[in-house]
């Protein structure tokens, strides 16, 4: 059941990150997939700083921050490819 929550929170985080990023990100589907990857990255980044969450809201914030970082990196890569 935890895996399903992880996926759902990642999807919501991807949607939020797409809305928060200037330019809207990469479209819904890719934003949602990057949100799932962002959940992993956010958990790792927050873990480096000793920040751990046990609530759904904390997990959502962590995943959203990670998704924003993933979308930012993906936009840099996309820009360099399109030049």
Q: What is the pLDDT of residues 15-25, one digit of tens each?
A: 888 888 876 56
**Token pair of 49, please?**
């700083």
Which tens digit of pLDDT belongs to each residue from 16-60?
888 888 765 677 788 778 888 888 888 889 989 999 888 889 989
Task: For residue 5, count CB atoms less than 10 angstroms from its CB and return exposed for 0-12, middle for 13-18, buried for 19 or more.
Answer: exposed
Which tens digit of pLDDT belongs to each residue from 59-76?
899 989 998 888 888 888
Longest dimension (CA), the chain: 43
Q: Which residues contact 68 (CB under 8 A, 6 or more apart)?
A: 17, 20, 21, 38
Calculate the CA dihedral of residues 47, 17, 71, 30 and round it to 10 degrees: 120
Q: What is the pTM of this model?
A: 0.82
């Amino acid at each position: 059941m935890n895996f399903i929550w992880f996926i759902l929170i990642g999807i919501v985080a991807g949607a939020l990150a797409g809305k928060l990023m200037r330019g809207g990100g990469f479209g819904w589907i890719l934003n949602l997939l990057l949100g799932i990857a962002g959940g992993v990255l956010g958990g790792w980044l927050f873990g480096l700083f000793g920040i751990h969450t046990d609530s759904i809201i904390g997990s959502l914030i962590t995943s959203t921050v990670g998704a924003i970082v993933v979308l930012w990196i993906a936009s840099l890569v996309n820009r360099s490819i399109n030049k």
